[in-house]
C-alpha cells in the first residue's frame, strides 16, 4: 500500500533535500520562509510536489535555487 510520503504527490523534507542535493536545514529554511508548499500530516510536514509541478508548469516562481534544481531533477 502506498503511503502519502512516497505517492509522488508529497515528499518528506529529508527526501526532498536529498533528491535536489541540498541540506535538510536548507529545505527547512525554505519551508519556514514559505518558499515551498507543504502540508502537515500528523507530526510530519511534507513537501507538496504536485503544487510545485503546477507552479513550474504555470511559470510561477517558488525559489530560484529550488526551481533550478527541481527542474533539473524532473527533466532527467
What CA–CA distance (Å, rounded) separates 49 from 22?
16
What digits encode the pLDDT tens for the residues 38-47?
998 899 999 9
> Alpha carbon 62 to chain centroid distance?
10
Does this model's pTM top 0.75? My answer is no
Based on the structure, what is the number of domains in the chain? 1
Helix axes 13-20, 64-75, angle to 10 degrees: 80
Residue 46 is placed in which grid cell? 511534507
CATH classification of the domain holding 29? 1.10.10
What digits encode the pLDDT tens for the residues 11-69?
999 999 999 899 999 999 989 888 888 998 899 999 999 888 887 787 776 655 566 66
Identify the residue with better confidence: 71 or 24: 24
- Note the pLDDT of residue 69: 66
Range of the domain at 20: 4-75
Amino acid at each position: 500500500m502506498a503511503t502519502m510520503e512516497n505517492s509522488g504527490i508529497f515528499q518528506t523534507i529529508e527526501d526532498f533535500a536529498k533528491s535536489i542535493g541540498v541540506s535538510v536545514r536548507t529545505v527547512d529554511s525554505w519551508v519556514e520562509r514559505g518558499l515551498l508548499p507543504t502540508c502537515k500530516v500528523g507530526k510530519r510536514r511534507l513537501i507538496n510536489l504536485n503544487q510545485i509541478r503546477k507552479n513550474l508548469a504555470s511559470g510561477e516562481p517558488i525559489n530560484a535555487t529550488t526551481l533550478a534544481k527541481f527542474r533539473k531533477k524532473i527533466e532527467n
